[in-house]
Amino acid sequence: MRLKPIWHSLNKMRKVPCIKSERLVLKPHGIDYLDSTHVYSSDLSNTLYMIHLPNQNKEETRDFLENVSKEWEKEVPDFYEFAILLGDVHIGSVCLYLDESHETGELGWILNKHYWHHGYAFEAAATMKTFAISIGLKRLIAHCDDQNVASYKVMEKLGMKLVSMTKGRYNKASKEESKERMYQLILE
Ligand SMILES: CC(C)(COP(=O)(O)OP(=O)(O)OC[C@H]1O[C@@H](n2cnc3c(N)ncnc32)[C@H](O)[C@@H]1OP(=O)(O)O)[C@@H](O)C(=O)NCCC(=O)NCCS
């Protein structure tokens, strides 16, 4: 049985379950995590290869989180943003943005730089892969800057394959054009 109807009815009742993995808990992201989200999303060294970050001020982070919270209230969300918790500490986020058909989901991730290199991004991403299967997705994709080795290593470890490398990427922190990698994984 697929989890989709259960998930959606739980969501409607605003009792969205958190998802546990070996060391982490994924919870619906939102305004409760404003300060901890702003720390990493406004830090240039934490967001060097990102198109929409760094944020210039806390209002930008607040707007983002308010938008995320509204999406969690929908019966059938178009995207899912999860806060990643290590014990009681909010260390980052992982997300899944669906296409129009709700068959393909785009994965994304960011961790506070103090928590890099412990396998947390992979653990959260692997949990999202299971979640994606549970809501009936057929394909996962992910994009990153060609220089963002840490990000594409997470993709490769998930079993995703490189499908394209294109010019024309502009990260927010840089005026220089860079190349973008796209990976995909067909879900069984
Ligand atoms: C991308 C990011 C989430 C990875 O987080 P992380 O928790 O350090 O990654 P993990 O520890 O799960 O590592 C997964 C794999 O990638 C490898 N890896 C991680 N960082 C690496 C780096 N800088 N260089 C080379 N390999 C790296 C790990 O060794 C591991 O592979 P292994 O198990 O075979 O050794 C983190 O670097 C980050 O938040 N970056 C800034 C935000 C960002 O760029 N997000 C992506 C936007 S597209």
User: What pLDDT, in 10s, does the model give residues 137-188?
Assistant: 999 999 999 999 999 999 999 999 999 999 999 999 998 999 999 999 999 7
Read off the DSSP letter of residue 18.
Answer: P
pLDDT at 60: 98
CA-nearest residue, atom 40 of ligand 1: 110
Q: Which residues line ligand 1 (CB under 6 A)?
A: 46, 49-50, 109-111, 116-122, 144, 148-151, 153-154, 157
Residue whose structure tokens are 């990000």: 151
Distance CA 170, CA 182 (A): 15
Distance CA 79, CA 68 (A): 8
CA-nearest residue, atom 9 of ligand 1: 121
Non-local (6+) Cβ contacts of 167 within 8 A are 177, 179, 180
Locate the ligand 1 atom nearest the alpha carbon of residue 123 and give its number: 12
Whether the per-residue pLDDT at 5 is higher than 80: the answer is no
pTM, full prediction? 0.94
Q: By percentage, how much of the chain surpasses pLDDT 90?
A: 89
Q: Are 86 and 24 in contact (CB under 8 A)?
A: yes
- CA 50 vs. chain centroid, Å, equals 12
User: What pLDDT, in 10s, does the model give residues 92-131?
Assistant: 999 999 999 999 999 999 999 999 999 999 999 999 999 9
